[in-house]
Chains A and B, each alone.
Chain A
Amino acid sequence: MSETQLEVSIRVEGELAIIDLQGEINAFAEAALINAYMDASSTEAKSLALDFTDVDYINSTGIALIVSLLAKARKDKQEVLAFGLTDHFQNIFEITRLSDFMQIVPDEAAALEKA
C-alpha cells in the first residue's frame, strides 16, 4: 500500500491566507501541515483558512495534527477558518469539538467575507 502524501499549497487572497489541502490528512501529513502553517502565518494576511475541498480522508492522527496546528495558532493569537468540508468531515469536527475552536464556513467566498 502506498503511503499517500498530503499536497499543500498556499495562496493569499486579500486579508486571507488560504492553505489548500489535497489528499489525506494522516500521519504522513505532519511536516507538510506544520510547514504550511508557518509559511501562511508569515504572510501579511490577517486571517488563515484551511481549504478541505480536495481532502478525501482524515483519520485520528490527522485530527491530532489539526489540534497541534490549532494549539500553535492559539499561542500566536492567529484566527483559523476552515471551508470545503464534506458533511462527514463536518460531523467529525463537531464530534471532536474542533469546530468550537475554528470557524467553519461553507466555501471560499464565505471565508473571504469573514476575514
Chain B
Amino acid sequence: MSKQIRDVWRVLARSPEEQAEPEPETSSVGIAPNDPLVAYLQSARGVVELDRLELESPALDELKEAGVKMAVPLVAQGELIGMLNLGPRLSEQEYSVDDRALLSSLAIQAAPALRVAQLVRQQKEEARRRERLDQELRIARLIQQTLLPRELPELPGWKVAAYYRPAREVGGDFYDFVDLPDGKLGLIVADVTDKGIPAALVMATTRSVLRAAAERIVSPGEVLQRVNDQLVPDIPDNMFVTCFYSILDPQSRTLQYANAGHGLAFRRTDEGVTELKATGMPLGLMPDMQYEESEVQLTPGDTVLFQSDGLAEAHNSKREMFGFPRVKQLMADHPGGAELIDTLVAELENFTIDGWEHEDDVTLLALECVREGASAAKAESKSSSIKVHAAFSISSQPGNEHLAIDQVTQAISELDLAPDRLEKLKTAVGEATMNAMEHGNRYREDQPVEIRVQTANSKLSVFITDHGGGQSIPEPETPDLEAKLEGEQSPRGWGLFLIKNMVDDLHVTADDRHHTVELVLDLEGGKHE
C-alpha cells in the first residue's frame, strides 16, 4: 500500500472524537437500478467528474444537487457495489491529478474489501433468517401435532382411518372427532389458510370453538354458524378456515353434514362415487352466515372420504394437478377405508416423486360402514391411521447423512423411543442415507435423497429413496470378518448388514428410476428391547 493511501485510511479510520473538523453533512441519494448512471459508472475507469457528465439520469441530477463534484465507482467482479462521492475541496481548489490518482487506487483496494463485507453481512442475515424459520417451523409443527387426535374412534360396525402429512412449511390442516350424546360421533376436517405459526394458532382456536359448539348444538349447520360468528371478530384479516363437519349416527347409519367452503367429500357405494354437497362460506370471513345442511343414508360397504385440498391440488414436476377426478376414480376402483387411503397416498407419491415439493398439508379421513358378515371376519383388523411425521429431501453431499439423522430424530421426538432404540435407528438412517447418496445418486447434488417418516399400526417406518433405479440393491449378507482381517476381502461392506441389525424390519423396493429402503421399528416392543 502506498504511503498516500495509508494516510487516507488513517483519516477514514479516525474516531469522531479525533477528528478536528466537524463531520461533513451527509445526505443519501437513491439510485434506481435502471438509471443510466449505473451502467456508466460500472464501465467507467477511475474518477468521474459529475459536472462534465451529460446523461438523462435522475440520480445524476440529484447527486449534483447534493453538491457532489466527483464520484469514484467501486466495482468488484464487474458489478457496481458502491461509490465514493466527494463534494468540492474545502480549500476551494480544484482536485489535482494526484488527488485523482489517489482516489482511483483507493477505489481499487476498497471495492473488494467492501464486497467481502457485503457478502459476510448477507450471509449472516441469511443464516439468521433460516434459523428463525426453522425455529418457527418447529413450533408450528409442535402445536399442530399436539392438537391432532392421538387415537381413532372405535365404533362397532364402522371403521375409521386417517392420514395426515404436514407440508414442509406446515399448513393449517386438522381433523378431529367429538363424542356426542346418544353414541353419535362428530367428524371434523378443516383447513386454515396461511402457514406456519399464524395458521397453527388459528387452528388451535378454531378447534376449541368447534369442539365447544359441537358438544352443545345438534345440527351441523348451526354448529358452523356458531363457530363462524365466534371467529369473525377475532380472526386476523387475511385468514379464514374451511371446514367440513358431519355427524354420524352409527345406529341409524345416517350422516348429517354441512360444509364451510371446504373441499369435496365423496361417498362410494357399489353403484359408484357421489359428492356430498352442501354450500356455505368459509369460517371467519363474514358474520351471520347460514350453512346448508344435508343428510345421507349410508349402507354397509359404503365409504365416505373427507379430505383437505392438499391431495387434489398437489402438483408434479410438469405442473399438472392431481385433481379431484383422479381421486374420484381411485375411490371408484378401491373399496374400503384404510386400503383406499393407502392407495391414494401411494398414487400421490408416484405422481409427485420427481418434483417433490410438499406444497400443502394432506389430510385424508375415511369412514367405512363395514359390510355385514365381513364385520366378523374383519373384526381383527382395527381402525388404522397413517401419520406422516416428516417428509423432506436432502442433497447428496458427503456428510449430509447427519442432516437426515437430525431431522428424523426431531420428527419422532414425540414417540419417546427408548434411548438404545433411537441410537440404532439413527445409525440405520445414517447408513441408508449414505448408501442412497453414494450408490444411488453418486453424490450428484441435483439428485436429492427423499426421506419420509411415518407411523401406522404401531410401526414406525422411515422410507429413504434415491434416484438410482435399474440396478438392484444386494441382499444384506453377514460379512466374513476373518477374511477381511486376513486381507483376503475388502475391509468395507458393512452398511446393509449394519442397517439390518439396527431395525426390526428392512424392505427394499425399486422401480426403473428409484430405490426405496424402508426401515421399520415395531413400536409395541421389538426384537431389540
Give which listed residue, B430, B481, B492, B501, contacts A98 with CB less than 8 A.
B481
Bound-state Cα–Cα, A103 to B399, Å: 30
Across the interface, do A71 and B424 meet the contact criterion of CB distance under 8 Å? no
Give which listed residue, B401, B424, B492, contacts A88 with CB less than 8 A.
B424
Q: Give the distance to chain A from B124, nearest Cβ to Cβ, in Å.
A: 17
Across the interface, do A63 and B397 meet the contact criterion of CB distance under 8 Å? no
**Chain A proximity mask over B473-504: 1 for CB below 8 Å, otherwise 0:** 00000010100111100111111011001000
Across the interface, do B485 and A3 meet the contact criterion of CB distance under 8 Å? no
Give which listed residue, B402, B484, B485, B493, contacts A1 with CB less than 8 A.
B402
Q: Which residues of B contact A100 (CB under 8 A)?
A: 481
Across the interface, do A60 and B399 meet the contact criterion of CB distance under 8 Å? no
**Chain B proximity mask over A44-79: 1 for CB below 8 Å, otherwise 0:** 000000000000010111011101101100100000
Q: With an 8 A cutoff between CB atoms, is A113 at the interface? A: no
Q: Give the distance to chain B from A25, nearest Cβ to Cβ, in Å.
A: 12
Closest A residue to B484 by CB, please name it. A67
Bound-state Cα–Cα, A68 to B485, Å: 7
Q: Give the distance to chain A from B372, nearest Cβ to Cβ, in Å.
A: 51
Across the interface, do A67 and B491 meet the contact criterion of CB distance under 8 Å? yes
**Chain A proximity mask over B420-437: 1 for CB below 8 Å, otherwise 0:** 100110010011001000
Given A71-B491, A96-B498, the answer on whether A3 and B398 have CB atoms closer than 8 Å is: yes
Interface size of B by CB at 8 A reads 29
Across the interface, do B398 and A92 meet the contact criterion of CB distance under 8 Å? no
Q: With an 8 A cutoff between CB atoms, is B456 at the interface? A: no
Q: Which residues of B contact A9 (CB under 8 A)?
A: none
Bound-state Cα–Cα, A108 to B241, Å: 62
Q: With an 8 A cutoff between CB atoms, is A35 at the interface? A: no
Q: Which residues of A contact B493 (CB under 8 A)?
A: 64
Q: With an 8 A cutoff between CB atoms, is A27 at the interface? A: yes
Across the interface, do A1 and B400 meet the contact criterion of CB distance under 8 Å? yes
Q: Which residues of A contact B402 (CB under 8 A)?
A: 1, 57
Q: Give the distance to chain A from B364, nearest Cβ to Cβ, in Å.
A: 35
Across the interface, do A2 and B399 meet the contact criterion of CB distance under 8 Å? yes
Q: How large is the interface on A (under 10, 10 to 19, 20 to 34, 35 or more residues)?
A: 20 to 34
Across the interface, do A65 and B424 meet the contact criterion of CB distance under 8 Å? no
Q: With an 8 A cutoff between CB atoms, is B5 at the interface? A: no
Given A1-B400, A60-B494, A61-B492, the answer on whether A96 and B434 have CB atoms closer than 8 Å is: no
Across the interface, do B481 and A63 meet the contact criterion of CB distance under 8 Å? no
Closest B residue to A26 by CB, please name it. B399
Q: With an 8 A cutoff between CB atoms, is B403 at the interface? A: yes
Across the interface, do A71 and B423 meet the contact criterion of CB distance under 8 Å? no
Across the interface, do B399 and A96 meet the contact criterion of CB distance under 8 Å? no
Q: Which residues of A contact B399 (CB under 8 A)?
A: 1-4
Bound-state Cα–Cα, A64 to B490, Å: 8
Across the interface, do B494 and A63 meet the contact criterion of CB distance under 8 Å? yes
Across the interface, do B430 and A59 meet the contact criterion of CB distance under 8 Å? yes
Across the interface, do A27 and B495 meet the contact criterion of CB distance under 8 Å? no
Bound-state Cα–Cα, A96 to B485, Å: 13
Q: Which residues of B contact A98 (CB under 8 A)?
A: 481
Q: Give the distance to chain A from B283, nearest Cβ to Cβ, in Å.
A: 44
**Chain B proximity mask over A1-23: 1 for CB below 8 Å, otherwise 0:** 11110000000000000000000
Q: With an 8 A cutoff between CB atoms, is A109 at the interface? A: no
Q: Give the distance to chain A from B231, nearest Cβ to Cβ, in Å.
A: 44
Closest B residue to A68 by CB, please name it. B491
Bound-state Cα–Cα, A57 to B401, Å: 11
Most buried by B among A27, A64, A70: A64
Across the interface, do A74 and B494 meet the contact criterion of CB distance under 8 Å? no
Q: Give the distance to chain B from A104, nearest Cβ to Cβ, in Å.
A: 15
Bound-state Cα–Cα, A71 to B492, Å: 12
Q: Which residues of A contact B427 (CB under 8 A)?
A: 59, 88, 92
Q: Give me 10 A-to-B residue pairs in the complex whose CB atoms sit less than 8 angstroms apart, sorted by A's number.
A: A60-B492, A60-B498, A61-B434, A64-B492, A68-B491, A70-B485, A74-B486, A88-B423, A98-B481, A100-B481
Besides the known contacts A3-B398, A57-B402, 20 further A-B residue pairs in the complex with CB atoms under 8 A apart: A1-B400, A1-B402, A3-B399, A27-B398, A59-B401, A59-B430, A60-B431, A60-B495, A60-B498, A64-B492, A67-B484, A68-B491, A71-B484, A74-B485, A88-B420, A95-B498, A96-B479, A96-B497, A96-B498, A98-B481
